Amino acid sequence: MGLELVKAVDAAREPVALATILAVRGSSPRHPGAKLLVGAGLGRLGTVGGGLGEARALEACRRRLEAGGSELLNVEMVGADLASPEMVCGGSNIMLIESLAEPGPYRAAQERLARGERVLFVKRITGDLGPVQVATTLCAEDGTPVWGRADGFRADLAARALATGQAGFDPEAAVFYDPVVPEEKLLILGGGHVGQALAALAPHLGFAVTVADDRPEFVAEGRFPPGVRTLLGGFAEVVAGFPFDSATYAVVLSRGHRSDLECVRAVLGRSYRYAGFMGSARKTRLILDQVLQDGCDPAKVGALWAPIGLDIGAETPAELAVAILGELVAVRRNAAALPALAQAREDRRA
């Protein structure tokens, strides 16, 4: 499920139908969790891969808009002849087509997403291909059901989907785990060369980017791409006024150790999903030692990503931005590599 689709369902004042890819065998243009939302006034939002597969999904959505209810649709893409109208991707997928007559779980989801929380739709499906019954449960970020039944699904699979932000299907139980990630905010404290490169790349990964600096020329109009917000002011003041939540990522790239320390002190007092700063091993150790002496929470200090960025030998501002974004994505997806990355971070501090 995507944030934009949840907003659209919540705002709809007419029947809408949703096509969702549950599972894929072999090659497919889209993967589990891909969606297409259809409504008379809405038109189309999203895609399940285009071509004949999407045409079949559209037909099924229109069928559900007329008749209500839900169905499972199998889309084969194993045609052998390039001259044939059949799809030749080499695989197949199963789609769930639903008429969304009950907006309740989507409205509840939107309320939590607006607070920066992740949510999870759990859909339990009864029936084979063709018409099916779907029971929906909405879970909060901690896995607690907040809408619908509290049973009929596996807590470990729900936790995994919430942690990674990736959809998954349990074929034996016919249960689909569909997480929704809120708008993720990236606050870049420092508009220098690396901050500028990071602000140019991060929107492509779905981050809502804000760049702050206390020097007017480093947040000047035209320095950053359209859509990147800029703030001029003292770093502690900016951090105090920024809407931090569990979907916030804070990256400290200011001009020197004093301003970095100001930023780190301020950020440690807020809630966030990720926080880190750039610097040598010596500078990193000095800043960490100082904030510990200041009385900051040792667990939060130890968890700071510093020195920031994956250790890929990056040198240029653009390369450093890529290294930082790789780290952010690993945290976003709760990647299996996180323990190794954390150990590498500790080794680089030594």
pLDDT at 260 over 90: yes
pLDDT band at 321; cut points 50, 70, 90: very high
Could you tell me the pTM of the whole model?
0.84
The stretch 320-349 carries a mean pLDDT of 94
Is pLDDT above 60 for 206? yes
Task: Report pLDDT for 349.
Answer: 86
User: Which two tokens mark 142?
Assistant: 């901690």
Q: Tell me what the mean pLDDT of segment 37-44 comes to.
A: 86
Q: How many CA atoms lie within 13 A of 63 on its CB side?
A: 15
pLDDT value at residue 159: 96
Architecture (CATH level 2) of domain 184-349: 3-Layer(aba) Sandwich (3.40)
What is the identity of the amino acid at 175? Answer: V
Confidence of residue 84 (pLDDT cuts 50, 70, 90): very low
For range 118-147, the mean pLDDT: 95
Residue 154 has pLDDT above 50, yes or no: yes
Compute CA distances 198 → 204, 225, 280, 318, whole Å: 11, 11, 19, 7
Locate 321 and state its tokens: 């931005």
Q: Residue 80: is its pLDDT beyond 80?
A: no
Query: Would you say residue 41 has pLDDT above 90?
Result: no
- Contact criterion met (CB below 8 Å) for 15 and 101: yes
Q: How confident is the model at residue 29 (pLDDT cuts 50, 70, 90)?
A: low
Summarize the confidence of residues 175-179 as an average pLDDT. 97
Task: Tell me: pLDDT of 79 over 70.
Answer: no
In the predicted structure, residue 203 carries a pLDDT above the cut 70: yes
Residue 343 has a pLDDT of 92
CA angle at 48 for the pair 135 and 205, rounded to the nearest 5° = 100
- Are 304 and 277 within 8 A, CB to CB? yes
- Boundaries of every domain in the chain: 3-180, 184-349
Residue 279 or 196, more confident: 196
